[in-house]
Structure 1
Amino acid sequence: MGKGANRNELGQFLQARRAELTPQAAGLPVDGLPRRVPGLRREEVAQLASISVQYYTRVEQGRLTASAPVLTALAKVLHLDDDQRAYLLELAGKEVPRPVRHRAQKVRPQTRRLLDALSAPAVILGRRMDILAWNPLAAALLTDFSQLPEKRRNYARLVFSDSDIRERYENWEAVAPDCVAFLRMEAARHPDDPRLTELVGDLSIKDPHFRQWWAAHNVAVQTTGVKKLRHPLVGELTLDWETFACATDPDQQVVVWTAEPGTSSYEALTFLASWAASGHSTAPPNQRLDTSTKPRQGHEGR
């Protein structure tokens, strides 16, 4: 699509949006007289955006490409949502700023069902490595996240400040720096996120390793790897992990741990799945069971 076609599309988009907006919704006084056009008039849009009627008319007719500040003002006047505003800027060939999102992330019910359907331990990580959701096998593998205050449900925080989690990772000195490097990338993406600033500050005060690795300014975006764990119930585990981005929210990642079939880790993970399915939410601390023991049957723990 050429520049002329883009300008025409931009003008038609603006015209369609002003036709949808009533004077009342735009905050204009209503005189009670019949209106010849639906929605706002061109002169009303121009007045609200503090530009001339001639300027706006040329933009809507596809004869002029408006500046970014004018487009931003028009987006506000026409009550465009984030997607519509981004579309408007893209049509004009302007840079689309990434929206700053500090609202709490929510996991879609469909994604939760996918998580529960997996036969492998899996969690959903959000911004700052917040643990947004998990399945019963993930709770049995790591910890019962439902028993933690929401603020503590953060993977990096648990890796550095939870002694049970820390001891569970046989290769903690490889896992922990990766968390710091990931948070460094998050800080670049969301420099104005107050909760991320609080998390980094808190961990820097409490853990000298975190301070050292944060000061190193290493960054990483890893999508796969290997983790070695010492589980109190089933012993040593070597697990492969992979991450998958959620299509509806790129700031949410599904992390899945698996074991190679035929290995002792695979047998241990299978036993742990049976243990979780029998109604246990997590393994009791410092208690190792024979993985040949068959647990009682019951409904899946939540």
Structure 2
Amino acid sequence: MTTVTTQSDVRRHELADFLRSRRERITPEQVGLPRGRRRRTPGLRREEVAQLSAVGVTWYTWLEQARDIQVSPQVLDALARALLLDPSERSHLFALAGSLDPTPHAPCPSVTPALRAMLDQLGPIPACVQNSRYDILAYNTTYGRLLCDLDALPPEDRNCLWLAFTHADWRAAVVDVAEVNRTIAAKFRAAMAEHLAEPAWKTLLARLEAESAEFREVWARHEVVGQGTKTKYIRNAHVGLLQLQHTNLWLGPAAGPRLVTYVPVDEESRTRLERLERLEPRSTRSPLSTAAV
């Protein structure tokens, strides 16, 4: 009889081994627990990890036994804290569990201090760094105000595809939103061909399909489009209509991070971007009326 090992089986066993190895390296003193005289287990006991994470002992034991159980991002977050995982280990934990980290802390190696400084100096031209999954990794002041208030969003929601299909302000700012969203979904499908088995990509796709009927309809078309440059029309809530040339500058291989800029096509758009950059902090400003468009 031949036993077939699935990819999910492999991932569960890798997750079990990883949790066990992290548990065994931590001393009770590191997490404020007494050692006791009869401790034979290297590092922490399973029940201690469960206690620190506020989960059931049986449930955590099943995790280390590679049982086929569901684990939420909130529980993974608690485990990462209890096991004192560093940013790389935390990212690995969520990847093995096939879950999106709700509070990612690991910095992107492509976003160096010099690149962040360049983003700031490009102002008032809106500019950001995105990866091929459309996560917004870094951005300057003008880009942060271009389509919605990015500073007000949690890091896990700073994704162009997610915002395009679920965020009211972002959608209101995009002229011809239906066609633009159809195009970005087609670009995402083309990019995803090289990442079909990666948890972060599958998690984003599952979130979109669960949240947006529009996305489900567009995704079912199986359209694909490559990356390119084009003129975009954005109706900013504060300064009005902007005509911008969208450009990608790849920071590595074509499937990796890219610098995205929105260069004004005309003088009026440049003037409005300058006004957008000079806006007061969001706590003290209010959108202009539609008469400004």
Structure 1 length-normalised TM: 0.56
User: 2:147 touches 2:234 (CA, 8 Å); kept in 1?
Assistant: no
Q: How many Å apart are 1:204 and its aligned residue? A: 1.5
Q: Distance in 1 between matches of 2:283 and 2:158?
A: 15
Letter aligned with residue 116 of structure 2: R
- 2:144 is paired with a residue whose SS is helix
Q: Distance in 1 between matches of 2:274 and 2:136?
A: 23
Letter aligned with residue 168 of structure 2: S
Q: How many Å apart are 1:105 and its aligned residue? A: 3.4
Q: Distance in 2 between matches of 1:271 and 1:290?
A: 16
Are residue 105 (structure 1) and residue 108 (structure 2) matched?
A: yes
Aligned to 2:187: 182
Q: How many residues align?
A: 186
Write out aligned runs for 1:70-81 (5 A): none
Aligned to 1:280: 281
- 1:223 is paired with a residue whose SS is coil
- Give the direction of change, closer, same or farther, for the CA distance of 1:183–1:230 in structure 2 (3 Å limit): same
Structure number, greater radius of gyration: 1
Structure 1 gaps of 5+ residues are 1-101, 292-302
| Root mean square deviation, CA, Å | 2.6
Aligned to 1:191: 196
- Give the direction of change, closer, same or farther, for the CA distance of 1:287–1:177 in structure 2 (3 Å limit): same
Aligned to 1:143: 148
Are residue 256 (structure 1) and residue 264 (structure 2) matched?
A: no
- 2:238 is paired with a residue whose SS is coil
- Give the direction of change, closer, same or farther, for the CA distance of 1:283–1:171 in structure 2 (3 Å limit): farther
Aligned to 1:206: 211
User: Which among 135, 143, 155 is matched to residue 160 of structure 2?
Assistant: 155
Q: Distance in 2 between matches of 1:117 and 1:108?
A: 14
User: 1:184 touches 1:217 (CA, 8 Å); kept in 2?
Assistant: yes
Are residue 232 (structure 1) and residue 233 (structure 2) matched?
A: no
- 2:175 is paired with a residue whose SS is coil
Letter aligned with residue 280 of structure 1: P
Structure 2 gaps of 5+ residues are 1-94, 96-105
Q: Distance in 1 between matches of 2:107 and 2:209?
A: 24
User: Which among 163, 171, 183 is matched to residue 166 of structure 1?
Assistant: 171
Deviations 1:190-232 (A, max 9, x none): 1111111111122112222211211111112222112212212
Aligned to 1:267: 271
User: 1:234 touches 1:288 (CA, 8 Å); kept in 2?
Assistant: no
Q: Distance in 1 between matches of 2:107 and 2:206?
A: 20
- Give the direction of change, closer, same or farther, for the CA distance of 1:283–1:268 in structure 2 (3 Å limit): farther
Aligned to 1:116: 120
Deviations 1:147-195 (A, max 9, x none): 2111101110011110111111122112111221121022201111111
Q: How many Å apart are 1:290 and its aligned residue? A: 9.1
Structure 2 length-normalised TM: 0.58
- Give the direction of change, closer, same or farther, for the CA distance of 1:224–1:205 in structure 2 (3 Å limit): same
Letter aligned with residue 111 of structure 1: L
Letter aligned with residue 140 of structure 2: N
- 2:205 is paired with a residue whose SS is helix
